[in-house]
Structure 1
């Protein structure tokens, strides 16, 4: 009887220890800290908050705390993550923080490749080209390109700032279409989109997640999206590939990284919890409604992806001569 009880207990323990969140139980005594390197309310902030209600369950009851550490294009928050040694601090990585910043800044307070280990790509975030229809009298992408060629250098495009992903997208667009526009950098996405809505600047390169409400209201018009197919939330808007520019079709992305010294077992534990959260129907629906498409890659694949993005963005920055120090 005692032997049978022991075997049952051992079997139960094996099941429990293999469940996400219950390996490394000592970490469940402290909250899992997710640093968002941008202000509240933006696309980057949406991503972890869409999962915040389900993650504690998947982490064996461990609380999840989301902290915004904005500034310097995401550099302040990512540097804080890189320095963390507590084993429970993770960071939301973006194409800007782990691809663009290393390409346009010679000096960063973190090394996008060597200071982190990738945990998982959480979502892909299609980009979108939008115009203020009251300022630019065109109906579609082809007419817009023709309009720019007829008015070289007379049209401006807004971005959240020099060296942002929107700036890189704008530079790629100009090269691909052989057109000219004047870049107007702002200090953040909020002021940029506000001036586009107000008619001060007629063109904006953005992520679907943050521009979608304005597109739906008709305040801006979407001309193309960077995605493999038309989006469910914007079924009438063609992809860049459909418009004849497949080189512009790469979306942005958001993922999770950990400091390089984080124990591999902890990285694996959190990766499994995130992937499980992304399979939750409510989470998937929230993401999709915001123009975000769930991913859930392995740690190894995401780590490799970051290195590839740095190399790619360095080429774009070199061609467009975008260097900020």
Structure 2
């Protein structure tokens, strides 16, 4: 009986310690894994919010770039290798959660079984752009007519098959009944350069990659892919406004942790991020980088991811998109 009582007493003592550890979180620095190379939009976002978010949590947040395989390498590092304790956070995005599993048979992580969403963090505006020296068109009607007359010979640039740039154009092709040929590049920058030189005909690009070229008159912005016009270019209509009904596309990203991380820790991370983006200077700085910040509860982000996974999965299947 004494031995049994000792075991029971030990078990009772362990529970409060675990609860206390969650209440004290964090007691050490946090690693924010960015599964893409330095310099891109996700990296800019991470380095902008890391310091103020760490200040709120009372510990430093260190950005760790783990690029490769459309985010799969970084996602596997967090979802499979790290403890479920909240000290390793993933800057996850649409490819990691909602696209890779439909395109890659050798995926090294499971987005549902290995990752727990914390908060949706932001979106990127995408714009249809053309080189006015090659195609002197100014609106979507003119673009559609030009594509129809090209007999499927129009080309558009994408920074890889299955990227938001590519899926957005596949969505545009499906809803408009038009067909074009994607030309894949190793990144957005070389695709934009070929657009500027006239090697390709058009591109659906994130705003940050083409904004200066639009302002300089080197590219014409035909339409915005999202639900609303963008503040920086209010004169440019959306694709839906321009005649392609129910068209809406934007790339999104957020924060995730390894599955099994306690809810109390997930909520602390979500609340800290939501507090960071109350700062108008941070919001403005990220807006200048082409990022629209937002925040959500873990449950809201989970439901959003589920909807997006079905949406892009259906498109990939309908359009027979494959990574060779």
Cα distance in 1 for partners of 2:51, 2:70 equals 28
Cα distance in 1 for partners of 2:72, 2:169 equals 22
User: What CA deviation, in whole Å up to 9, does each residue of 1:90-119 have, x standing for no partner?
Assistant: 111111221121222233111112211110
Distance verdict in 2 for CA 1:137–1:35, change over 3 Å? same
**Runs of 5+ in structure 1 lacking a partner?**
1-21
Given that residues 195 and 201 in structure 1 are in contact (C-alpha distance below 8 angstroms), is that contact kept between their aligned partners in structure 2? yes
The match for 2:71 is 74
Q: By how many angstroms is 1:152 displaced?
A: 2.1
Given that residues 75 and 97 in structure 1 are in contact (C-alpha distance below 8 angstroms), is that contact kept between their aligned partners in structure 2? yes
Given that residues 168 and 249 in structure 2 are in contact (C-alpha distance below 8 angstroms), is that contact kept between their aligned partners in structure 1? no
User: SS in structure 2 opposite 1:271?
Assistant: helix
Aligned residues: 302
TM-score normalised to structure 2 length:
0.88
The match for 2:46 is 48
The match for 1:159 is 158
Q: By how many angstroms is 1:320 displaced?
A: 0.8
Runs of 4+ aligned structure 1 residues displaced above 6 Å come to none
User: SS in structure 2 opposite 1:227?
Assistant: coil
Cα distance in 2 for partners of 1:54, 1:216 equals 32
Q: By how many angstroms is 1:163 displaced?
A: 1.6
Given that residues 158 and 186 in structure 1 are in contact (C-alpha distance below 8 angstroms), is that contact kept between their aligned partners in structure 2? yes
User: What CA deviation, in whole Å up to 9, does each residue of 1:41-62 have, x standing for no partner?
Assistant: 11221222221331122112x1
Cα distance in 2 for partners of 1:300, 1:169 equals 26
Of 208-217 and 111-120, deviating more is: 208-217
Q: By how many angstroms is 1:161 displaced?
A: 0.9
The match for 2:60 is 63
Cα distance in 1 for partners of 2:314, 2:133 equals 35
**Runs of 5+ in structure 2 lacking a partner?**
1-20
Given that residues 32 and 90 in structure 2 are in contact (C-alpha distance below 8 angstroms), is that contact kept between their aligned partners in structure 1? yes
User: SS in structure 1 opposite 2:49?
Assistant: coil
Q: By how many angstroms is 1:298 displaced?
A: 0.3
Q: By how many angstroms is 1:214 displaced?
A: 2.6
**1:113 correspondence with 2:96:** no
User: SS in structure 1 opposite 2:26?
Assistant: helix
User: SS in structure 2 opposite 1:324?
Assistant: coil
User: SS in structure 1 opposite 2:100?
Assistant: helix
Cα distance in 1 for partners of 2:208, 2:114 equals 29
User: SS in structure 2 opposite 1:122?
Assistant: strand
Cα distance in 1 for partners of 2:114, 2:245 equals 33
User: SS in structure 2 opposite 1:67?
Assistant: strand
Given that residues 35 and 92 in structure 1 are in contact (C-alpha distance below 8 angstroms), is that contact kept between their aligned partners in structure 2? yes
Given that residues 277 and 283 in structure 2 are in contact (C-alpha distance below 8 angstroms), is that contact kept between their aligned partners in structure 1? yes
Cα distance in 1 for partners of 2:92, 2:191 equals 22
**1:261 correspondence with 2:263:** no
Distance verdict in 2 for CA 1:219–1:68, change over 3 Å? farther
Given that residues 100 and 165 in structure 1 are in contact (C-alpha distance below 8 angstroms), is that contact kept between their aligned partners in structure 2? no
Given that residues 47 and 287 in structure 1 are in contact (C-alpha distance below 8 angstroms), is that contact kept between their aligned partners in structure 2? yes
Q: By how many angstroms is 1:225 displaced?
A: 1.1
Of 225-234 and 307-316, deviating more is: 225-234
Q: By how many angstroms is 1:211 displaced?
A: 2.6
Distance verdict in 2 for CA 1:40–1:308, change over 3 Å? same
The match for 1:135 is 134
User: SS in structure 1 opposite 2:27?
Assistant: helix
Q: By how many angstroms is 1:121 displaced?
A: 0.5
Cα distance in 2 for partners of 1:42, 1:219 equals 22
User: SS in structure 2 opposite 1:114?
Assistant: coil
